[in-house]
Amino acid sequence: MKRGFTLVELLVVLVIIGVLIAIILPNTLRAIRQANTKECASNIRAINTAIQMCYTETRNWASCDTIDELTGGGYLEGTPTCPFGVAYNIIGDGANGYHVDESAHFAGWPQAETHN
Ligand SMILES: [Zn+2]
């Protein structure tokens, strides 16, 4: 004999699904956040390395201080995109050299695991 679910049975199923989501979601979000943070840190390292390679060859900071110059010169493959949607700004001066401004991406990078 066929019968439908009772309201109580449906509610029990919904509560179980809700509990499962509540358990799984925070871990999933943290995993995504950690993966994005690693990708961003990796991008920053790649850009900083490209800046150094560019300067080593050109001895001219002014031609190594934009992403376009780095990709155009073949020091950087493609344009890195921050998974958090923050632009990679290159800062510095001729005396101390140039590097990516990490402050917009990390507090206390590279130690911190969190992304602003
Ligand atoms: Zn970032």
Give domain limits for the chain: 11-104
For residue 111, the tally of other CB atoms under 10 A from its CB is: 7
Does residue 59 sit in helix, strand or coil?
A: coil
CA 61 to centroid of ligand 1, rounded, Å: 23
**How many angstroms separate the alpha carbon of residue 82 from the centre of ligand 1?**
4
Selection from 74, 69, 62, 71 nearest residue 98 by Cα: 62
Q: Go through 13-45 and write b for each residue having 16 or more CB atoms within 10 A of its CB, e for each that does not.
A: eeeeeeeeeeeeeeeeeeeeeeeebeebbebbe
Residue located via tokens 């401004």? 101
How far does residue 13's CA lie from ligand 1's centre (Å)? 40
Q: Would the pLDDT of 52 be above 80?
A: yes
Q: DSSP alpha helices (H): ranges in 1-116?
A: 7-58, 67-72
Q: How many whole angstroms from 74 Cα to the centroid of ligand 1?
A: 22
Distance (angstroms) between ligand 1 centre and the Cα of 78 equals 16
* Ligand 1 centre distance from Cα of residue 84 (Å): 5
Residue 1 has pLDDT above 90, yes or no: no
What is the reported pLDDT for 51? 97
Cα(46) to centroid(ligand 1), Å: 13
Determine the pLDDT at residue 106.
76
Q: What does the alpha-carbon distance between residue 29 and residue 99 come to, in Å, rounded to a whole number? A: 30
Confidence of residue 111 (pLDDT cuts 50, 70, 90): very low
Specify the fold of 11-104: Pantoate--beta-alanine Ligase; Chain: A,domain 2 (3.30.1300)
Residue 5: what pLDDT?
87
Residue (of 51, 52, 65, 45) closest to 105 by Cα position: 45
Confidence of residue 115 (pLDDT cuts 50, 70, 90): low
* pTM strictly above 0.85: no
